[in-house]
Structure 1
C-alpha cells in the first residue's frame, strides 16, 4: 500500500529537517517555506495529501492567512491541519482551532507526540470519509438507501403522533435517456431530481436516492395529492434537462401500519409508481387495497415456489419448430415452463416468471428446465427418435452465475448428450446490462459446443453492434415483430433486410409467433430457416410431442409427395459434383436435412444435372479436378447459362492459391481447400446462400430506389444512373422533355386519382412509342424525360415527338377528356454534355412548344448570333 503524503509548511530549515526526520519512515513528506508555496503545491496535489503540518509565523504568507484561504477551497478545506508554533498560550491554540485547524502542537517537537497525533488525525479523517460515503449518495448528496431507512425510522419513533407519507419516484425510460444523451447528461438529470426533492421536503427534510433513478422522501401527511403538484415538479425538471421529455412516475404510501419496516413502506410506494408506468397522463398513484392484494398474491407465489419445485408442480412443455426447407420437417423444440398448482390450477408464466426474475428464484427454475430437457433428449435417443435439439432459456440472472458453464456441462455429461442438442436462448435485452461479461460467458459456452440463440430480437435495443459483438449461431425474431412486419407489404418491411443480414453473418433465423398461413408463406419467401407458432402447434407436454416424433417420418414422406405434385413448391436442390464417392456421401449426409442432394462424379453428369434442375438448383459444391472436361468447364457453363444471383457455387480443390484466384474470377462464390470438415462446408454454403440472397435483395432495393412509385418509370436517381451508364456508341441521341399541359385542372376537377391515372397512361404511351433500349423517366410531377439512343436526325426526332403528343391526345379524346401534352427535343451528338445541359436545351424547346401551340413538340435550334 503506498505511503500517505504529509505537507510540512515551515519557514525554518532546521524545523523542516526535524519534522522530515520524524515522519519519513512512515510517510512521504512534501515541504513548503510559506503559505503561498503551500497553496501552489496543493493546487496540483490536494487529493494526494493526507495532512498538513503548518507553522503560524512565516514570511510572505503566515499560517492564519493560509487557513482562511484554504477554507474557501473545497478540495483543500477537507485536509486536516495541525498547527505548530513556539507559543504555548491557550489563546493561540484557540485562535488556531477557530481558523479551522484540527489540532495544535507546540514546539520544540516531541517525536512520539507528533507521530501519534498525525496518525490519529489521519485515521479520524478516513473514518469520517467512510461514514460520509455510507450515509450519502456520491452523485447527488442525498442520503443513501440504508441511511434513509435509518433516518425515517428515527423520525417515526420520535414523532408517534405525526402522520407521514412516503413519496417515491422513478424516471420512465431512464436507460434510454442515458443511451441517447449520454451518461453525463443522465447524471445531470439525476442531480436535478435531487434538487427537486430537497425543495419538496425543505431544509430539514429526509430524502434519499436508491438505485439509479429511484428517489424517496418522507413528508408530513397531505390532505390531498393532485396531478398539478407532480406535473409542476416534472415541468421544472424538464427546464433543467436538455431532453425536454422527462417523465416521472410517483408513488405515495400513507404510513399507517408502523409495525412493518421502512423498507417495506418504500417497496409499497414504488409498487404504486410502477403500477402506472407506460400510462399516458397518469402522474402518481397511491398504494391501496388493489395493490396490497397484488402484493399478497406475489407473496403467496413466493412462499409456494420452493415447495412447488420439490413437489414437481412445474412442468416442461415443448413447442415444435419446423424447417421451412427440407419438406417442412420437424426440426426442434422450445422448452417452456408451466406451473400446475393443486389449488390455483395452471398459472400464467406472465404472473410468476417476472417475480422469479426479481427474487432470484429463476436460476433454480431454469436449472430444473435444463435438466428436464436433457432427460427428455436422452429418452428420445434411447427410443430411436430423430435427434432434434431443444432450446432452453438462459435468464439474465443465470449469466451472472460463476458456475453456469459447469452446471450446463454437468447435465450434458450426466445424460451423455452432445452440447449441440441443447440450444441456449438469451434475450437481446440482457446484452444492454453487462455487455463484456455476457460476451465472455457466451463465447465460453459456444466454445464448449452449445448453440447460442438470441431470443426476442426486434423488441428492445436491437443494434448492428450487438449482432456484431455477440457470439451467436441463431437469431430468433420476436412474435410481435413478426406479426407487425408480415402485415406490411413486402417492399415496405425490413424483414427482407434482416434475413439477408443474418445470411451474411452466417446466422440461422427462427421466427416465433407464426399464426397464419400468410405469415408462413411470407417467411418462406424471404428465406427464414425455422418457424414456430400456433399455426403449426401450441406448446404441449413431452408425451404429446413424442407423437409428433413418431409420425414425423410419415408426415415428411407425405410432404415430399405433395411437393413433387406442386412444382411451385418443390424442394431446393444442392448438387455435389466431385470425383470422390466418399466425399459425395459425406456431403449428402450433411445437407439432406435441408436440401434434396444430387450427386455427379464427372463434368458431363454435373452439366446434365444443372440443365435438368435449373429452376430448383440452390447451390453447387464443385470440384475443379472433375474427370473429363474438368470443373472449370462446368463453372463457365453455369455462369453463362444461369444468372449469377440464382445459384451459389463453392469450388473445391487441393490448396492452390492460383487455382483459387482463377475460380473466384470465373464466378465461384467461395473456395474451399481440401481436405475440410463438413461443419465448415455447411457454414460456407449457408454463407454464400446468404450472400446471393443479400445481393438479390440489394438489387431489388436498388431497383425500388431508382423507380417512380406510381408509373414504375425511372425516377431522377434512376435517370442519373442510366445516363451515367451510356456509352459512346449510344450517341447521337435525342433527348425529350414532355409536360402534361392541364394535369392540375384534371386533379382539381376530377380528383388526384384521375390525375394519377393520366400519369400512368402517359407512361404507357411512352412505352408504346419507344424502344426497350431507350431511357424513359418521370422527371417529377407531370414532366417526363425520354432519351432515344442512336437517333441523330432532327427531322426524325421531331416527328417521333409529335407522334407521342398526338397519341396521348387521341387516347383521351376517345374518353371525352380534353387534354394534351407538349414536348421539347434536342439532339446530343457526342455524349460529352452533362444531363442538366441536355435537359436545359430540351426545356427551352418545350417552352417554345407551349408558347406556340399547346399539344405539340418543338425542336431546339442553336440561337443565331
Structure 2
C-alpha cells in the first residue's frame, strides 16, 4: 500500500487544528504543532517527508513569520511548500505571506473544498520539481547525467574565470564483451567501479558525469601535467576490481583555453582525442591536437559565416527539373541550395548541410529556401507561366518546431499561393526517430493543403508498417536504389512491387538520380510517374530554369490542374473566453486582457457553447459565470471539462458568495472559483495561476515521459520497464521475457561511427515494434541490450518461435554492403511474482547459452 503524503498543520488554536485535520485526514496524514518552535521539532523528525505545511501567522512562542524565516534559511527544509492561513483575504496579508516565502494563502474561516483544492495544486507543483531532479542524475552510478553535467560545467567556468580546467573523457574498449561474457550485472558493477574511480580522481577539484554506456567525463582543475603513468595506474585500479579482467580504457583530454565554445563541444573534443587512439596497444591517453583542431576550425569558420551569408544572400536556390515520364514534359522542380561564398567559391550542400543539421541553423536555411521558392513561383505566375509545383526540403529539426505549420502558412500567404504549390519533402530516415511526432505533424500539414513527399524511400530505414501510418502523397525513390534496381532484369527487381504498392495506396512516385536512357525506359515500363536526374538536367539557377520554362512551353499538369484545393485553417491568437450575462463585467474583463490575448465574449449558455466549438484548443482560459442564461450552466461546464482532457483548457468559475455552489464547481474539476464581486487584478492573478498550474501539469507529463523513455529509440528505459512490469495483472501471465543483444554494434560504432550505430539501434527498435503487440512491453535495457515482455505467452514453443522470428528479421533487414546485422536472445517464461530482476537474470543466462551455441539465434532458459 502506498503511504499517504504528510501535511504539517501549525496552528495555536486547538479547534482550528482539529478542523484542518478533519478536512485533510481523508487524503493525507496530518501532523500537528501548536507553535513555530514545536513545528521545527516535527520538521527535524520527518524532514522532507513532509509534503506541505499549513501555517498560522499569529501564534505564541514563535509566530508564523519567524518560523518561515527558519524554514527558508535551512536547505534541508527550504523546498517544502508553505500555505499561510490568515484571518482575512486582504491583499496586504497575501503580499506579506508571499514576500516571506509562502507558496499560497487561504483565509479563515476554512472552507474544505478550497483547502483541499489549494493543497493538491501546490503539492503537484512540488512533485513536478522532483521529477526534474530525477533526470539530473545517472540512475546506475549516481553521477550527473550528460545534460546536467554540461550545465554544471558551464556554471563552474563562469564562477571561476581565472582558474585552469581540463575536460577528461574515457571510453572502455570492448566493453560489450564484459556484458556478453560475464553478464549485465557484472557490467553494471564495473561501471559503478569506474564512477567511484572518477569521484576519487576528481575529489573537490571538479565534477563527474556519465554520458552513455561506458563513456564518462569529468571537469578537473588543472594542477599538473598528465602522463601515461597516471592513466596506467588508473587502469590497474580498475583491473584490480574483482569483477574486471583485462579492461582497457582510452582517455581523451581537452585543456580549456577557449571558453567561448559550448561545453558540449569541449567534451566532443576530448572524446575525439580518445577515439583517435582506439586499438593502439600501449597508448592510454591523447590530448586534443592540431589535426582535430583544424577540422573543427573549418566547421567553426562555416558556423561563424553562416548568419552573415544568409543575410547577404550568399545562399542561392537552384532548381532541378522534374519531368512527367509519360510524355517527357516538364512538370515541376526540386529546390536545392548552394553556398556561393565570396572567398571559397561555390560550395556543395555536402560541405555545409550536415553541420547545419547538427548546429540547428538548418531551420533558418530551410525557411529561407521556402520563401525564395515561393517568391519564384509567384513571379512565374505573374508572368503567366503554368502553375508548376516546387518541392522543398523539411529537415528533422523543422518537424520538431511547434510553429512549423504557422511558418509555412505565412510563407505561402505572403506570396499569395495555395499550399498545394509547395511540396514538402521529408527524408525517410526522419520517420524512425519519433514516429508519433512525425505522424502528428505531417498529418496536420497535409490537412492544411500541402503535398507531402517521402524522400529517399528505399534507403533502408523505414518499414511498410510505418508507411501505412503516414499521411503522404508521393514516394520519392532513393537515387542509389534506382541505379541498382534498374540494372536488374525487369522480372527480378522490387520496383514493380513498389509501384503496385503505390498504386494500391493511391500515391504518386518520383524517381531521382536517373542518368541513363536504360534507367528511364525501365521506369517508364513499370509505370513510374515522374523522374529527375542528370539524364534530363542538372540543378540550375532560377533564371536558367525560367528559360527552360519558356523553351519547353510546358502544359499545366492535368492532375494538378484538376486537383481540388483543400482550405487551410485560419490561425488565431490565444483566446480568453468570458461567458457572463453582465455586459459591463465582460467589458471590464476585455480591458484587463485585450493587450495580451484575443478576448471572446458570450452573453448566454448557447453563445458559450458556440465559442467553445469555434475556438477549441486556442482558448487559454475560460471565465465562466455560473448564473448564465440559456442551457444549464453545468452543461456548459461539463463541455469545457470534457474537452479539458483533450485541450487542457483552464477554467475559472465565477458566481455569488455561495459556499455550496463553490464546493460543487470545485468538485466538478474547475481550476478556481472567483466570488463576485472581485477586482480585475484578482481575476488577472487567478487566470495566470490557472494557466501556470495547467502548464505545470503538461510539463510534468512531458518530464515523466522523458524520465521513463529512452531518448534515442522512444522505447521504455529501465525505469519505465520496471514501472510497467509493476503494473502487470494476473491475467497478463504467463509472461515471456526476452533479452535481445545486438551482436555487432560495437564493431559498427568503431568502424563507421556512432551515428551508424544509433541508426542500427533505431532500426532494431522498429523491428521489435513491428513483431510485437501494442500491449507488450518494449524497452532498451542499456547499450545494445533490449528487454521485451510479451504477455499471455502460453507455451515455450510459441516463445521460441517469436524469438526466432525477430532474430531472423534482423538478419534479413540488411544494413550496408559487407555487413550482416545479427542479434541473439535469451528467453524465460515466468509470472509477475518471479520479479523482473530475477527473470532478466535468467534470460541473461539463456542469452549466454545462445551466444555460446549459436550466435545470432535464441535460447530458452530451462533452470
Specify the TM-score bucket, using the shorter chain as the normaliser.
0.3 to 0.5
Larger RCO (CA under 8 A, 6+ residues apart): 2
Q: What TM-score comes out, normalization by structure 2 length? A: 0.45
Query: Larger Rg: 1 or 2?
Result: 1
Q: What TM-score comes out, normalization by structure 1 length? A: 0.45
